[in-house]
C-alpha cells in the first residue's frame, strides 16, 4: 500500500463493514476525556473528516457535533480497522484544514511523490526527533497527543516522547483522578515501554478504587526507566522505588504521605519534599537513600521523618514549620518528663534515636531552619553527631534559643572544617535590610571553633535586642562586627 495519506470528507451513515477493536478519544477542550465506543458508534456516526496513513496503522478521525467551529473537533485514534473494508486516497493532510478550515493552495510539482517537509511549508517537521521530543516535553499529555493531527510525521511522535506530563488542573489546582483515568489508561497502553526521562503526575480528589489504578500507573512509569519523577497527588502509598534503578530525581508536593512507612531508593540522587505534604501523626516515615547528593525537606504537617545515613550527601536544606507536631509547650528540649505528653513520648524510639542530624552529618553544605518551638533539632544534639565534612552552614534564630546559645555553640564546636557561617535572624529573606560580616581577632579566637572558619555573616531586618545578644555571643568567640 505504501505510506499514503487519505482525506475523505463528507457524511457517512450506516457504514456496515467497519469493525473497530478500540477507540481513543481526546478532546480539544479541557473537559473532554477518553471514552470507549463500540462498532455501532462508528456505523451510525456522522464523519466529517477521516485521515489515515496506511491500512494497518492507527486511524485518525475528526468529528464535530453541532458547533460550527472546528475548535470543538474531537480527535479519535482508532487502534485497528478490519480488513473487510478499506478506504484510501492519494494526497496529504494539511494541518490548516484540520484546525481552522483555511484553504489549501495546490502546487504543481514536477515528478512523482509528495513535497518534502521544508518545501511544503512544514519547517518544524524537518527538525530532528530529539528536538521535537523536547518541544513535546513542555505540553501536558493531552496536548502532546493532539499533535498527531499536524502531519504524517507527528502521528506516532508523541508515543516516543521522553517526557510526560499527566496533569489535570482547574483554577484551584489539580483535579480528580476520575476526570483523566480513562485517558491515562489508554495513554500508557499505547506508549508501551518507550523509555521516559522525566514524568510529572499531578492529580487529586482520589476515590477508594482509584488507588490500585494509581499504583499501576506509577509502576508502569517506573518500568519505563524514568530518571526524574515529580508527584503532586494525594493518598500516595507507593513510595518504594528500590526496583527502579534509573530513578535519580524525586520531587513530591501536595501529597498525603501519612500511610508511607518508608521512602526508599538506592539510585536516588536528589529528593525534594515540600511543606504541603502530610506525614503521619503517630509514627515517623523512614527515608532511606544512601546515595543521595541533594535533599530539600520542608516539614509543615505532623511528624518529622527519620533520615537514615547518607554518606554521599553534598547539600541539604531542612525547614521545620510551625504546624509540625514535634513541639512541646513545656520545654524546648523534647524531654518534659511528663509520660503522658504526646509530643515528647508518643513514639518510644524517639528518645534513643537521632531523627535528622545523624543522617545529615556527612553533608558539605547545610541549611537548618525551624520555628523556635520545635524541639527535634535540639533533642538530636543529645546524640552528639559530628559534622566532619561540613564547610557551609546556614542557621536561623532557632539556634539562638535558649539564651545561652548552647545549640549554636554545639554546631560550631562539632564542625571541625567549617569555612562559612551565615545567621539569618528573624527574617525569611531573601532580601535583608541589614547584612553584617564578622572579622576574627586572632588573639581572642576560641579554640573550640574551626580554624578554617573565615566568614561569619549576620542577616536581619533590624538590629534589635535579640540581634544584639547574638552579636555579643559571637564576640566571645573572637568575632567582631564589620
pLDDT tens for the chain, 482 residues long, are 333 233 232 223 333 333 333 333 333 333 333 333 333 333 323 232 332 232 222 333 333 333 333 333 333 333 333 233 333 333 333 433 333 434 444 444 444 444 455 555 667 778 888 899 998 999 999 899 999 988 888 889 999 999 999 886 554 554 567 778 888 999 999 999 899 999 998 877 677 777 788 888 888 999 999 999 998 876 556 677 888 899 999 999 888 888 888 899 999 999 999 888 888 888 888 999 999 999 999 987 788 999 999 999 999 999 998 767 788 878 878 888 788 887 787 787 776 789 999 999 999 999 999 998 889 999 999 999 999 999 999 999 999 988 889 999 999 999 999 999 999 998 877 788 899 998 887 777 888 889 999 999 999 999 999 999 999 999 988 887 66
273 neighbors 300 (Cβ within 8 angstroms): no
Secondary structure element (H or E) that encloses residue 144, with its range: helix 141-146
- Give the integer Cα–Cα distance in Å for 52 and 422: 64
| 190-225: pLDDT as tens digits | 999 899 999 998 877 677 777 788 888 888 999 999
3-state secondary structure of 317: strand
- Give the integer Cα–Cα distance in Å for 115 and 95: 15
315 neighbors 291 (Cβ within 8 angstroms): no
What is the per-residue pLDDT for 117?
Answer: 55
C-alpha torsion 148→149→153→157, nearest 10: -10
What is the per-residue pLDDT for 234?
Answer: 60
Q: What is the CA radius of gyration of the chain?
A: 30
- Give the integer Cα–Cα distance in Å for 131 and 283: 47
Share of the chain above pLDDT 70, in %: 71
What is the per-residue pLDDT for 358?
Answer: 95
240 neighbors 217 (Cβ within 8 angstroms): no
328 neighbors 278 (Cβ within 8 angstroms): no
List CB contacts of 214: < 8 A, sequence separation 6 or more.
177, 203, 206, 233, 236, 238
85 neighbors 18 (Cβ within 8 angstroms): yes
What is the per-residue pLDDT for 471?
Answer: 93
What is the per-residue pLDDT for 271?
Answer: 97
What is the per-residue pLDDT for 188?
Answer: 92
What is the per-residue pLDDT for 347?
Answer: 81
- Give the integer Cα–Cα distance in Å for 387 and 393: 10
What is the per-residue pLDDT for 238?
Answer: 61
Half-sphere exposure of 332 (CA within 13 A, CB side): 17
Q: Give me the residue spans of the domains in the chain.
A: 1-104, 129-387, 388-482
293 neighbors 269 (Cβ within 8 angstroms): yes
Amino acid at each position: 500500500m505504501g505510506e499514503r495519506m487519505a482525506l475523505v470528507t463528507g457524511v457517512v451513515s450506516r457504514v456496515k463493514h467497519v469493525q473497530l477493536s478500540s477507540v481513543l478519544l481526546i478532546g480539544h477542550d479541557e473537559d473532554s476525556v477518553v471514552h470507549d465506543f463500540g462498532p455501532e458508534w462508528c456505523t451510525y456516526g456522522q464523519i466529517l473528516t477521516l485521515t489515515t496513513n496506511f491500512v494497518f496503522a492507527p486511524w485518525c478521525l475528526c468529528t464535530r457535533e453541532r458547533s460550527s467551529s472546528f475548535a470543538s473537533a474531537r480527535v479519535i485514534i482508532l487502534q485497528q480497522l478490519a480488513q473487510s473494508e478499506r478506504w484510501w486516497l492519494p494526497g496529504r493532510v494539511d494541518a490548516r484544514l484540520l484546525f481552522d478550515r483555511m484553504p489549501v493552495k495546490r502546487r504543481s510539482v514536477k515528478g512523482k511523490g509528495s513535497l518534502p517537509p521544508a518545501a511544503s511549508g512544514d519547517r518544524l517537521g524537518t527538525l530532528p526527533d530529539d528536538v521535537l521530543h523536547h518541544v513535546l516535553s513542555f505540553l501536558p499529555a493531552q496536548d502532546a497527543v493532539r499533535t498527531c493531527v499536524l502531519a504524517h510525521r507527528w502521528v506516532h511522535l508523541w508515543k516516543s516522547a521522553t517526557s510526560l506530563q499527566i496533569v489535570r488542573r482547574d483554577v484551584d489546582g489539580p483535579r480528580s483522578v476520575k476526570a483523566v483515568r480513562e485517558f491515562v489508561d489508554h495513554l500508557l497502553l499505547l506508549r508501551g515501554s518507550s523509555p521516559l526521562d522525566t514524568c510529572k503526575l499531578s492529580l487529586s480528589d482520589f476515590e477508594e478504587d482509584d488507588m490500585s489504578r494509581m499504583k499501576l500507573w506509577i509502576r508502569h512509569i517506573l518500568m519505563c526507566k524514568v530518571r526524574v519523577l515529580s508527584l503532586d497527588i494525594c493518598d500516595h502509598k507507593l513510595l518504594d522505588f528500590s526496583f527502579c534503578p534509573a530513578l535519580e530525581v524525586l520531587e513530591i508536593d501536595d501529597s498525603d504521605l501519612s500511610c508511607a512507612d518508608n521512602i526508599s531508593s538506592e539510585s536516588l540522587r536528589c529528593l525534594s519534599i515540600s511543606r504541603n505534604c502530610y506525614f503521619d501523626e503517630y509514627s515517623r516515615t523512614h527515608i532511606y537513600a544512601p546515595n543521595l547528593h541533594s535533599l530539600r525537606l520542608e516539614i509543615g504537617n505532623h511528624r518529622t521523618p527519620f533520615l537514615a545515613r547518607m554518606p554521599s550527601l553534598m547539600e541539604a536544606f531542612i525547614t521545620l514549620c510551625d504546624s509540625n507536631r514535634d513541639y512541646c509547650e513545656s520545654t524546648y528540649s523534647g524531654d518534659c518528663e511528663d509520660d503522658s505528653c504526646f509530643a515528647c513520648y508518643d513514639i518510644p524510639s524517639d528518645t534513643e534515636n537521632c531523627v535528622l542530624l545523624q543522617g545529615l552529618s556527612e553533608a558539605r553544605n547545610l541549611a537548618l531552619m525551624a520555628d523556635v518551638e520545635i524541639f527535634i533539632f535540639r533533642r538530636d544534639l543529645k546524640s552528639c553527631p559530628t559534622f566532619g565534612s561540613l564547610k557551609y552552614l546556614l542557621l536561623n534564630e532557632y539556634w539562638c534559643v535558649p539564651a545561652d546559645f548552647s545549640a549554636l555553640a554545639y554546631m560550631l564546636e562539632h564542625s571541625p572544617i567549617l569555612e562559612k557561617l551565615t545567621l539569618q535572624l528573624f527574617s525569611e529573606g531573601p532580601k535583608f535590610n541589614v547584612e553584617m560580616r564578622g572579622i576574627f581577632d586572632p588573639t581572642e579566637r576560641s579554640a573550640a571553633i574551626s580554624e578554617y572558619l573565615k566568614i561569619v555573616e549576620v542577616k536581619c531586618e533590624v538590629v534589635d535586642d535579640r540581634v544584639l545578644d547574638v552579636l555579643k555571643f559571637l564576640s566571645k568567640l573572637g568575632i567582631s562586627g564589620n
